Amino acid sequence: MTDGAFSPRFRVATVGVFALGFLIAFEALAVTTAMPLAARDLHGASVYALTFSSFSAAGVIGNVAGGAWSDRSGPARALLVGVALFAAGLVLAGTAGTMPVLIAGRTLQGLGAGGIGVALYVLVARVYPERLHPRIFALLAAAWVLPSLIGPFAAGAVSTYLSWHWVFLGILPLVAGSTALLLPQLRRAPMPGTGDRMPASRLAWSVAAAVALLAMRPLLDVPGVGPVLAALAAVGAIAALRPLLPRGALRAARGLPSVIVARGLFSAGFAAADAYLPYSLIALRDLSPVVAGGITTVGAVSWATGSELQSRLSGRLTDRRCIGIGAGVFFTGALVVGTGTATALIPLVVVGWLLAGLGIGTAYPRLSTSTLALSAPEERGRNSAALQIGDGFGNGLALTLVGVIAVAVPGQEFAAAFGLAALLGLLVVLVASRTSAAPLTR
CATH of 245-442, one of 1.20.1250.20, 1.10.3210.50, 3.40.50.920, 3.40.50.150: 1.20.1250.20
442 residues of the chain, pLDDT tens digit each: 456 767 777 777 788 888 878 878 777 766 766 776 787 888 877 666 677 777 877 888 888 888 888 877 778 888 889 999 999 999 998 898 888 899 899 889 988 988 888 888 888 877 778 778 877 777 777 777 777 666 666 766 777 777 888 888 888 888 888 888 777 766 665 555 555 566 677 778 888 888 887 787 678 778 878 778 877 888 888 888 888 888 888 787 888 888 898 888 888 888 778 767 776 777 666 776 667 667 777 887 888 888 888 877 766 778 888 888 999 999 999 899 888 888 878 888 889 999 998 998 888 888 888 888 888 777 777 787 788 788 777 777 776 677 667 666 766 777 778 888 888 889 989 988 888 764 444 4
What residues contact 11, with CB distance under 8 A and at least 6 apart?
none
pLDDT at 84: 93
What residues contact 318, with CB distance under 8 A and at least 6 apart?
436
| Cα–Cα nearest to 263, from 330, 332, 349 | 330
Name the residue ranges covered by the structural domains of the chain.
1-198, 245-442
In angstroms, rounded to a whole number, what is the distance separating the alpha carbons of residues 428 and 328? Answer: 8
In angstroms, rounded to a whole number, what is the distance separating the alpha carbons of residues 319 and 367? Answer: 7
333 touches 352 (CB < 8 A): yes
b/e sequence 360-374, b meaning 16+ C-beta within 10 Å:
bbbbbbbbbbbbbbb
pLDDT at 404: 67
| Cα–Cα nearest to 379, from 265, 200, 242, 247 | 247
| Cα–Cα nearest to 123, from 57, 187, 177 | 187
Q: How many CB atoms lie within 10 A of CB 291?
A: 14
b/e sequence 225-237, b meaning 16+ C-beta within 10 Å:
ebbebbbebbebb
pLDDT at 440: 42
| Cα–Cα nearest to 141, from 124, 163, 158 | 124
Q: How many CB atoms lie within 10 A of CB 87?
A: 18
- Identical fold for domains 1-198 and 245-442, yes or no, is yes
Regarding pTM above 0.95, the answer is no
CATH of 1-198, one of 3.40.50.2300, 3.30.70.360, 1.20.1250.20, 3.30.1360.20: 1.20.1250.20
